Structure 1
Amino acid sequence: MELNGKVAVVTGGTRGVGAGIAKAFAEAGAEVVTCARRPPEHPVKGTEFVPVDLRDPAAVRDFFAALPRIDALVNNAGGAPYRLLADADAERHARVVELNLLTPLTASLAAYEQLKRAGGSIVMIGSVSGSRPSPGSAAYGAAKAGLENLARSMAVEWAPDIRVNTLVVGMVRTELSHLHYGDDDGIAAVSRTVPLGRLAEPSDVGGAAVFLASDAAAYITGASLLVHGGGERPAFLDSATANREA
């Protein structure tokens, strides 16, 4: 899984999961370029940051055109605030879809020629929200479902030159976890719902991304790799247990 001499681009690689991915690629020997609108508060050692508004297609094309070589692209930029569907208009939800679906498509198209020359790979950072109901983040879940399907189609269209895979990521503990899961007690309670007993660390996602980008995954394309600690314990199991105990 060494990436010595390879050039990897990680979109949104300045904090949280993105920073963990960038760090993992750098530790694997890759030359790592991260891009986002704002610079990182805590730069990742061994990476270079370039400011790019990923929602601006022209800026994205200029950014990739300036890179002499790209061996791996990790489409990590994304996210969404908690927002019930009826609490916002369609235009606001559309911006969530734009960031989480159209931005990875724009970046992939902009990097296509360099990736083709290098025989490179694309890793999409998907989410379990794309395969289950996501109340409060419905537009995000819909976008992630679309992203996984986009990756499968892209893998067929761009084979054999470029491999394209998706990491379907579950709950990750980052510097923003408290916004989603509450304080340490809340995080501990949520962790108990995961079969492996903890939330993922950004390094867990980073290691999986390095694998998919490396020669160890040379025959893997169009695949979705679950990185979710075993998923979520079905609620009906706890209800059934409670009824039996009663």
Structure 2
Amino acid sequence: MTQKTAIVTGAARGIGLATTDLFLAEGRRVAMVDRDSDILAEEAGKRDGVVALHCDVSDPDDVAKMAEDAVAELGRVDALVNNAGVADFGPIDDCDFAMWRRVMSTNLDGVFLCSQALAPALKAAQGAVVNIASISGLRASTLRVAYGTSKAGVIHLTQQQAAEWGEFGVRANCVCPGPVRTKLAMAVHTQEIIDAYHDAIPLNRYGSEQEIGEVIVFLCSDKASYVTGQVVAADGGFQSTGVGLPALRS
């Protein structure tokens, strides 16, 4: 087989769905992986060139079956995008162990499990891994003790993958989205939050799901053939300004 392929977790909506569509536009076959079987089936049914695989990435048995089925369906694995994640926010004092594990099991364990299960196929194809973290993994913020820590772990795990798998021709990079105009974000962000983000982001706006997907697809492409172990903040410049006050900008 010469047709390139990709596996995208959390593919039924948001950044994962936008990334799937960009891969399809390149002519790749895509395995869409998600634990929401109803939405997954609905979205996969609208697209040619995809296979829908139900999987909870926090479950080792589910992941092992997903990896086996994906390789059988696709024949090869040129790219793995570990996008599946959950967000559960709250003060440190209110974060019980159940909440901590709920976030860690999907956001960090899921990346580890999927990458490890698909490592043989990625090595055989000299493929690429892109893990989706967050600017919350780069800079601390209130209410994100579990979420931010899980994403910081994803960043370091990516660098471990790059260091160990480089000799096999496998590249591993990490994308850290900033505020993105997803349906979920718009449902929970008040106008006050939206205005504050616009003021704090140098580009003065949220990103789109497609804009994040474009970065992911580039890192999976041959155009990024010498890029590995990198952390890319796709955030409109939010990370670059650190704690700088918008009011002090000229």
Q: TM-score, normalised by structure 1?
A: 0.89
SS of 2:183's equivalent? coil
Q: What's the counterpart of residue 43 of structure 1?
A: 43
Contact 2:89/2:147 (8 A) holds in 1: no
The question of 1:32 aligning with 2:30 is answered: yes
For 1:110 and 1:182, locate their aligned partners in 2 and report how far apart those are by CA, in whole Å.
40
Q: What's the counterpart of residue 80 of structure 1?
A: 87
The question of 1:58 aligning with 2:61 is answered: yes
One-letter amino acid of the counterpart of residue 63, structure 1: M
For 2:246 and 2:90, locate their aligned partners in 1 and report how far apart those are by CA, in whole Å.
28
Structure 1 residues 234 and 219, CA gap change in structure 2 (3 angstroms): closer
SS of 1:176's equivalent? helix
Q: What's the counterpart of residue 177 of structure 2?
A: 169
For 2:230 and 2:112, locate their aligned partners in 1 and report how far apart those are by CA, in whole Å.
17
Structure 1 residues 186 and 168, CA gap change in structure 2 (3 angstroms): closer
Alignment RMSD: 2.0
Contact 2:80/2:129 (8 A) holds in 1: yes
Match of 1:205 among 212, 215, 239: 212
Structure 1 residues 210 and 238, CA gap change in structure 2 (3 angstroms): closer
**Cα shift readout 1:97-130 (whole Å, capped 9, x = no counterpart):** 1211111000000001111101101000111001
Matches within 5 A, 1:107-186: 107-161=114-168, 162-182=170-190
For 1:186 and 1:132, locate their aligned partners in 2 and report how far apart those are by CA, in whole Å.
18
SS of 2:173's equivalent? strand
For 2:248 and 2:176, locate their aligned partners in 1 and report how far apart those are by CA, in whole Å.
29
One-letter amino acid of the counterpart of residue 22, structure 1: T
> Unpaired segments of 5 or more residues in structure 1?
242-246
**Cα shift readout 1:146-194 (whole Å, capped 9, x = no counterpart):** 11111111111111321100011111101112244225x7535532321
The question of 1:224 aligning with 2:234 is answered: no
Percent identity over paired residues = 34
For 1:234 and 1:121, locate their aligned partners in 2 and report how far apart those are by CA, in whole Å.
30
Structure 1 residues 215 and 88, CA gap change in structure 2 (3 angstroms): same
Contact 2:9/2:84 (8 A) holds in 1: yes
For 1:190 and 1:131, locate their aligned partners in 2 and report how far apart those are by CA, in whole Å.
16
For 1:80 and 1:86, locate their aligned partners in 2 and report how far apart those are by CA, in whole Å.
17
Q: TM-score, normalised by structure 2?
A: 0.87
Structure 1 residues 56 and 234, CA gap change in structure 2 (3 angstroms): closer
SS of 2:18's equivalent? helix
Match of 2:20 among 10, 22, 45: 22
Contact 1:181/1:190 (8 A) holds in 2: no
> Unpaired segments of 5 or more residues in structure 2?
none
For 2:245 and 2:102, locate their aligned partners in 1 and report how far apart those are by CA, in whole Å.
37
For 1:191 and 1:167, locate their aligned partners in 2 and report how far apart those are by CA, in whole Å.
21
Structure 1 residues 201 and 35, CA gap change in structure 2 (3 angstroms): same
Contact 1:25/1:206 (8 A) holds in 2: no
CA-CA distance at 1:91 after TM superposition: 2.9
